[in-house]
Structure 1
Amino acid sequence: MPGWLTRIGERSQRVDTVAACFAAHRPVFLVLDQRRAAERCAALVGQPGWHDYLTLFAGTPLAPLIEASPWLIELKLGSEAWQAAAALCQEQRCGWAFQPAQDTRLADLADHLRRLFVLDDPHGGQSLVNVQDPAAWTTLLAAGSDTSYAHCIGPLGQVVTPTPLPHWQAWLPTDEADEAAAPPLTHELERALKEIQRAWWLSQAADIPLQKLPPEWLERLTQLAEADIARWRDRKRLLPLVRHADAATWRHAQAILFDASLTVQQKISELERHS
């Protein structure tokens, strides 16, 4: 298993009720990927408990993508708006929530988040990170260094993210970090941002928390991808093989996977026989 996944358990704890993580008398905030459920997100505006929001790409070099921009929303905990937005985060992987330790202006929180969308990458360029996606945000928090983690949490205080399963993860707050520069996108972080998509799917499909996924399952899923078995529905057909094959059976499966004379569908059919 990618070692960084174990840090989810080291830097956060499982919670079954997200509202229990926050102080009831203070507002909560959500980073919401409104493009994933545009109509449901638009319906949030003006609901009881809705306070304010900012479009995070506004006023940044990402402004040409404004229609796809995530929102930063301020809500009243427990309100209709909160209930609807939290359901969007969990059911459709549309975002995540946080509550600063002290009163903080919405604009200041937005400025902090805006610095995390475009990071210097190890190739001498810059890369866009979908911070609004709970999978990508989980990766930034778990796969980065301690310094990077502290910077990302920064002024956000208590951060709570949905998971592939019905529970949430509450991340350990830290002292506010230096806001001068965003953390770099290292080679490890780049790999992790690719790995998280497979790990997220596998966690949900197998009903196992991300940090407890057996390493060989992820390695096998990666090999399916390398053999051009890219569609999730095909990978689901092969999930019994991924989960239950012994070493000898998987070696035979590898021979099928990387047999250049077989089409993808032929590989899937052959592999299913060994599931």
Structure 2
Amino acid sequence: MATGTTGGRKTGQSTARRTSRRAPRPTGTTYEAREHARAQEGARAAAMPQVPAPEGLLWSETVAGGGYTHKVLARGSELRLADPTGDACAHVLLFVDGRPWERLNAADTVKVQWNAYLGAGRLLLSDQGRVLASLVSDTSGRHDTLCGTSSAARNTARYGDGSAQGRSPAGRELFLLAAAKNGLGARDLPPSLSFFQGLRVEPDGALEFIGSAGPGTSVTLRAEQPLTVLLANVPHPLDPRPAYTCGPLEVRARPGAATAPGDPLWDATPEGRRAFLNTAEHLTARGIG
């Protein structure tokens, strides 16, 4: 039985049991519990991974609002995140697989590219001056590089609960669960970026929440190094809606090729070209480039 995560909880067998139309089975003994569990084979919930992924895909999953997921992706993989309802908010952390000390640096992503706004053609950078992922397509334009994700204290104050297993889980608490499944801990978690709920910086420095571009938008990231990807789908910290509101997030990844010299993205800006050269030099020395 495939398992995923939603609201900090597994979305496999237990969720399938709730959504199945099959008659309840007794579970008073180990044998009865085993038969009950096996009877759920083939049942699906609205939010869970497809295992195995459909042909041509490396990863296919729907993450419920208040849920999280994670995956290791090969260099060149294309990761498509989609917001079918207009209420998803995909908080993203990236780590170089096997070298987690090289990880997403939101400050350098903004600083090096002279721009706080994400969109097609932008690069997600590490603090080593190298490209972790490139944003190759974007139909949303509503993203955030500045606020990070929500905390347990904030969600408890606002919604009454911020625990990973609670009714309004915080993004950081979900990241901690995803991190632990990849041998990482709290000290490994930097500020995250988020997609599908945007903000703008006012001339006086105030942050204005501008929300979603609406249902049906997507972004596609290309892995420029082997990556460990952590995703938490929770409301944006500045979302003004009083209720904990977050729609499903569709996640699809397929094989592809990393950006190479001659690709327009490689030479789009002097800063980007230097980051790609730094990345290529590093990977070539490791026998990967």
> TM-score normalised by the shorter chain: which range applies?
under 0.3
Instruction: Identify the structure with the greater strand proportion.
Output: 2
TM-score by length of 2: 0.22
TM-score by length of 1: 0.23
Structure of higher RCO (CA pairs closer than 8 Å, 6+ residues apart): 2
Instruction: Identify the structure with the greater helix proportion.
Output: 1
